[in-house]
Each structure stands twice: as structure tokens, then as C-alpha cells.
Amino acid sequence: MMPNFELICCVVNNEQGSKVMKIAKQQGVKGGTIFLGRGTIKNKILEMLDLTDTRKEIVFIAAEKELAENALKTIESEMAFKKTHHGIGFSCPMKSVIGIGSNEFSQQEKEDRDIMYNVIFTIVNKGNAENVMDAAKEAGATGGTIINARGSGTKETSILFNMEIEPEKEMVMILAKIDIVENITKAICNEMKIEEPGNGIMFVMNVNDVYGI
């Protein structure tokens, strides 16, 4: 039987992603990926100083379930996620995995644990992420993280000086209690018209362990 895998996600302040990876590797994790993003929490003093666009690093790590749980607990402890603005961490069950010490898919078994949180991912064209967050906050979201990305779909290129240009994208990641997720997703869909071609894509995943909220 193939082992179960989980995806660890940690959102930390700028230049802290490497420290998260070091802690995870000390627990036996083989590697991960660090993305650059920005936080969306508003603060009146920060707004006066024009410092609301805080830079963040987002660390994604895939590991076997037991290893992931131990690694996340250690990361939470050493990064002090319980303290305000030190970061958040959570894990999601992965339905299937390929490329982690195996060339086969690993099918995730269904768990009986109660799910309290979901993570909502919304991918939109660059410049629209703030609109996504505004709609989400109106529906009850307390904040989120914006990650820069780029599209690679066959119909997502434009022509400039006879060259194909892939448009830049923004991915908004929002962690929310499960009882308000439907309201948030509906608000985003209504605001961004996600169901119309070319306007974006949204997906929701269950979250197991959550730290820092």
C-alpha cells in the first residue's frame, strides 16, 4: 500500500522561508518550494506609512502524512506562529502524488477527522487580486496572501511585436472557517465572474492542522 501524503503550507515574513525549509529538513523532509507573495491585512498605522503591501514568502512542502505532521508541529513551535504576525501554517491531504520517491500515484485514504478550515485558491489576471480580497472580506474573510504567478494555457497568450507573451497572474490564497467558505466563494465568483472564460479559476481544499490563527 502506498503511503498517504500531505501538503504543508506556511506563510511567513520575507526572508523567513529558508528558515522554515531548514527546520523541515531537520525533521526528514527532502525539500519544498518557496514562493514570493504579499499579505493583505489592513492596519491604519501601516496605511499612513504606506506599508500595507507587506512582502511574504509561501512555503509548500509535500511529505508523507506522519512526517508532515511532525514537521509542521516543529515549524509552528520554532517559528512561534502563536505570536501575532509571525506567520501561519496548515496542512492539506493530497489526493494523489507523483514524483516524491516514486513514479506511481499515491491515493489518499478518506479520513474521519472533522474539517474546520478550507483553503480557497483563486487565480486571476494580474491586477485583480485586490478585487478578489475585497469581495472575500465583504463575505467574512479576515485576510489572505497574494502570490505572483503566470499563465501557461494555450489560449492565454497575446502577440506583441510578433512574440507570444504569457500574461502574468496572481493567485490569492485564503484560509477560512468552513462555515463561511461558501459565502466567500460566491462573493468572489459574483465579483470576478469566474464562470466566464478567461476571468480566472478557483478551487477549494480541505485543511487538516492549522497554526497561527
Q: Tell me the pLDDT band of 106, cut-offs 50, 70 and 90.
A: very low
Please state whether the predicted TM-score (pTM) of the whole model is above 0.85. no
What DSSP line would sit under the chain, residue for residue?
A: -PPPEEEEEEEEETT-HHHHHHHHHHTT----EEEEEEE----HHHHHTT--S-EEEEEEEEEEHHHHHHHHHHHHHHHTTTSTTS-EEEEEE-S---SSS-SS--PPPP--SPP-EEEEEEEEETT-HHHHHHHHHHTT----EEEEEE---TT--EEETTEEEPPEEEEEEEEEEHHHHHHHHHHHHHHHTTTSTTS-EEEEEEE--EE--
Bridge partners (DSSP) listed for residue 146: 38, 172
Task: Over range 94-116, report the average pLDDT.
Answer: 56
Task: Over range 171-182, report the average pLDDT.
Answer: 92
Per-residue pLDDT of 141-152, as tens digits, reads 988 988 886 554
> 198: left (phi > 0), else alpha (psi -120 to 50), else beta?
left
pLDDT value for 41: 60
Q: Tell me the pLDDT band of 156, cut-offs 50, 70 and 90.
A: very low
Q: Which grid coordinates belong to 30? A: 527532502
pLDDT value for 165: 43
| Comparison of pLDDT for 28 and 158, the residue scoring more | 28
pLDDT value for 34: 87
% of the chain exceeding 90 in pLDDT: 38
- Residue from 126, 210, 125, 127 nearest 174 by CA: 210
Rounded CA separation 21/74 (Å): 11
Task: Over range 104-108, report the average pLDDT.
Answer: 44
Per-residue pLDDT of 6-51, as tens digits, reads 899 999 988 899 999 999 999 999 888 888 887 766 555 444 444 4
Buried b (16+ CB within 10 A) or exposed e, 165-196: eeeebbbbbbbbbeebbeebbebbbebbebee
36, 147 contact by CB (below 8 A): yes
Could you give the domains of the chain? 5-93 (3.30.70.120), 117-206 (3.30.70.120)
Per-residue pLDDT of 44-70, as tens digits, reads 544 444 444 578 888 988 888 899 999
